[in-house]
Amino acid sequence: MIGRQRPASAVRATTIVKGHTTYNKLRIGRPDSTTDRYADFKRKKGTGFEDYRTSLYAQDWFDSSTERDVANILEDAPDITL
């Protein structure tokens, strides 16, 4: 029948993914960067922030000051490890 959908119970998964994929953390950094994680965000918008020990990247950037504030809280927490 055209246009008729199969009920969800009739859908089956047929692909099983096995193994491990290596995470490639290569990313191009921003030319303007700072190691001051607490710098004024408005003045530093578009800046790459460095020295986050729990980051997968050498340089991080944030869309908002709130996002950066959460990253700083997690960075300063002693029980967070990578």
Task: Find, among 2, 74, 69, the residue nearest to 39 by Cα.
Answer: 69
**pLDDT, tens digit only, all 82 positions of the chain:** 566 665 555 555 556 556 666 666 667 888 888 999 988 887 666 889 998 988 888 899 898 889 999 999 999 998 887 6
pTM above 0.85, yes or no: no
